[in-house]
Amino acid sequence: MKIKRALISVQDKDGLIELAKGLNEFGIEIISTGGTLKAIRDAGTPATAVSDVTGFPEILDGRVKTLHPKIHGGILARRDMKEHLAVLQQHGIGAIDLVVINLYPFERVTSRPDVSEADAIENIDIGGPSMIRSAAKNHHDVTVITSPSDYQALLAELRAYGGSTTIEFRRKMAVAAFARTAAYDSAIHAWFSKSSAEFPERLNLSYNISSPLRYGENPHQKAALYERPNYPYTSLPKGKILSGKELSFNNLWDLEAGLQMIFDFSRSLSSVEGAEPFAAVIKHTNPCGAAIGGTLAEAYSKALAADPVSAFGSVIALNHPIDMDTAKLLHETPFVECILAPSFAPDSLELLARKKNRRLLAVGDLVIPPESEYEFRPITGGILAQTPDRRIVRRDELKVVTKVAPTDSQIDELLFAFKIVKHIKSNAIVICKDRTTVGVGPGQTSRVESSVIAVRRAGERAKGAVAGSDAFFPMPDGLEVLAEAGVAAVIQPGGSKGDPEVIAAADKYGVAMVFTEIRHFKH
């Protein structure tokens, strides 16, 4: 299909001048609007104002300029129907063969936390989506381009086919166009839905492909990583891989577990300033070691020593920029899959990058998503939505239920344990000492079995330590396993019918126990 006439109206001016000059070389007439028209003309490329085509000026501060039969008629007319062509001739409407549109930046504007409703509404594009949909619908005759990233492909197509485009190219661009308008409408709906405390009646999710992955959880599964456009908070897709081969599906899933942990160990919602150094060693989404230290190197050293055997082939997450002392320890650790941190000091990066198979991911300052940002889990034929578990239990919320009360230092340990157990798959038990995990019992079908595993991994380190449980003990057996191993204090939600028996068992062993009335199941 030969392109003789193009309509260009873009908010993003990247690549515009080169595109306009390229079209002009093929003798393609350009019609345009507002700032796009000015930019093209200022660059020395001839272009006609849409108002000159329609015979009607832009009105209402530019809200109405392309909503006119001489525009939409020129786009929608089918070239294979004599009746359509006759109508164009009768009304003096020129056919438009190419539509290049990108939309008002609604997603970018509304990603600002302080955006007003008035600003959001002004950035809802009306004419742009209408022209895009018109052109995509009539892609048999019209080429539609919605992203600057496709300009070079368009020019290459024109060069290859003497100023024409193929139906294959037009269809491909139409698919991208419908995806763009669908994402745009989804973003608008999602933003307005935030004003309601209820879950929206209709859930529209739109993500752009970030990269294909080699495979999924297993080599016979296909997989890809998608990114939410203009997401304003810290995320893995926004992170930068500084070294190493591409991340796998399982790498990303483990890294997400690590990212959620360092969110919890960052005091500020906007940065890590003031947060104590924290390190987590992640294996199959569970922390096999986690610790707070006076320095990042100390935190990592403690976390690694918690369970060095399980740490083989792990993912490391750290909440502070990686300095050289920490980098040396990391470099000496056998087989680390990935390291996630806000950033890497230049000398640390140079050292860690020497092992080419070790991925280094910098995620920038930790900007934590609020509870209003739902998290989703797909099920067959549907999807589950919930607010994230960002609940952190405070010291003044603890309820001492045993004859022995925990000491101040034990309370610090208990609060640490309860933060950690939140990130372990249920049923979960964690044993901690010196704000370090020494025994982790994850994901068992019985809580007593999780206690047995945690005690076995802790060994002698369980003596005098504290333990955390993500949910209540339904009966005393799980607590008895911990107490017989020497655990001195326990934190758990409480709320079981068996609470009196569990409390009695704790008193029998002289164990201090506190209830939180907050459960941290992680399925």
Helix, strand, coil percentages in the chain from 3-state DSSP, rounded to 5 = 40, 20, 40
220 is catalytic: no
Q: Which of 68, 71, 66, 76 is nearest to 140 (CA)?
A: 76
Reduce the DSSP state of residue 322 to 3 states and report it.
strand
Which DSSP letter does residue 461 get? G
189 is catalytic: no
As a whole number of angstroms, the distance between CA 277 and CA 332 comes to: 20
**Which one is catalytic: 4, 21, 84, 137?**
137
Helix axes 499-509, 477-484, angle to 10 degrees: 10
**Which one is catalytic: 284, 331, 355, 425?**
284
Compute the residue count for the chain.
523
As a whole number of angstroms, the distance between CA 333 and CA 330 comes to: 5
End-to-end CA distance of the chain: 55
Reduce the DSSP state of residue 18 to 3 states and report it.
helix
Burial class, 445, CB count within 10 angstroms (exposed 0-12 / middle 13-18 / buried 19+): exposed
As a whole number of angstroms, the distance between CA 420 and CA 313 comes to: 21
Backbone torsions φ then ψ of 37, nearest 5 degrees = -60, -45
In which element (H, E) is residue 87 found? helix 82-91
Provide the pairing of β-strand 208-213 with 223-227: antiparallel
In which element (H, E) is residue 209 found? strand 208-213
* C-beta separation of 253 from 285 below 8 A: yes
HSE-CB at 400 with a 13 A cutoff on CA atoms is: 15
Token pair of 346 as six digits? 């230049």
Assess whether the previous peptide bond of 427 is cis (omega < 30° from 0).
yes
As a whole number of angstroms, the distance between CA 482 and CA 489 comes to: 9
Which DSSP letter does residue 111 get? T
As a whole number of angstroms, the distance between CA 83 and CA 162 comes to: 28
* C-beta separation of 444 from 427 below 8 A: yes
As a whole number of angstroms, the distance between CA 57 and CA 52 comes to: 8
List residues with catalytic annotation.
137, 284
